[in-house]
A and B are shown apart, each in its own frame.
Chain A
Amino acid sequence: NAGVMQNPRHLVRRRGQEARLRCSPMKGHSHVYWYRQLPEEGLKFMVYLQKENIIDESGMPKERFSAEFPKEGPSILRIQQVVRGDSAAYFCASSPPGSYGTEQYFGPGTRLTVT
């Protein structure tokens, strides 16, 4: 039973490029959460999605960031026109239906470096 999968594990982008981060939740999980971890900082909530729905995006920057969780395929976090301040580790977590977020299983993260 595979855990939460994220790819790529490491991503290097130049300023102005787009970054696409993928997250495949655990089998049977229909809830996905994205968190960002800046150096020396705690994990910060970004967005909570269910299949084809954004439930809570209160932690998402208003511009350049978007997330989706389509009916088929992984959840995608997209960052357009990246800047150096976007360099961070981005973690995805998933939880099963009915757990109300009490069981969040994290993936290994994608480390984004913007040069």
Chain B
Amino acid sequence: GQNIDQPTEMTATEGAIVQINCTYQTSGFNGLFWYQQHAGEAPTFLSYNVLDGLEEKGRFSSFLSRSKGYSYLLLKELQMKDSASYLCAVRAASGAGSYQLTFGKGTKLSVIP
């Protein structure tokens, strides 16, 4: 089975840095995704990690450690518009199920002035 854990809520200050953690236990692994979802809107793709290490993309970076079943999303220079839910999702290793994503419940980030 698949189990993905991430904190329910976080609060951070505008201009600061925040790290959102995600741990997973899955039967097989073929990539980890981060999505951003504003209330009432579609999830939008942020990052994809399949190898260990850090992927940087502007103000957002994502890290993966497959041996530890751990990832984090790092947001720098926080802006008010970054207030949203951040979804961690894992893709299974192979077979027809390798196309489906298993999502955590999401971390609701509130950015305050």
Contacts and interface: CB of A to CB of B under 8 A. Distances in A.
Interface residues of A, number: 27
A58 interface: yes
A69 interface: no
Interface in B84-113: 87, 89, 91, 96-106
Interface stretch (A14-22, A36-44, A79-87): A36-44
Interface size class of B (residues with CB under 8 A): 20 to 34
A105 B101 CA distance: 12
Contacts of B97: 56, 58
Contacts of B44: 106
Interface string B71-95: 0000000000000000101010000
Nearest to A59: B100
A1 to B, nearest CB: 15
B28 interface: no
Chain A interface, >50% SS class: loop
B102 A45 contact: yes
Interface string B42-61: 11110010000000000000
Interface of A: 3-4, 31, 33, 35, 40-45, 48, 55-56, 58-59, 91, 100-109
Given A45-B102, A102-B31, A109-B42, 9 more contacts: A35-B101, A42-B106, A48-B96, A55-B96, A56-B99, A58-B96, A58-B97, A100-B99, A108-B42
22 contacts: A33-B101, A35-B101, A35-B103, A42-B105, A42-B106, A43-B87, A43-B101, A45-B102, A48-B99, A55-B96, A56-B96, A56-B99, A58-B97, A91-B42, A100-B98, A101-B98, A101-B99, A104-B45, A105-B45, A106-B42, A106-B43, A106-B44
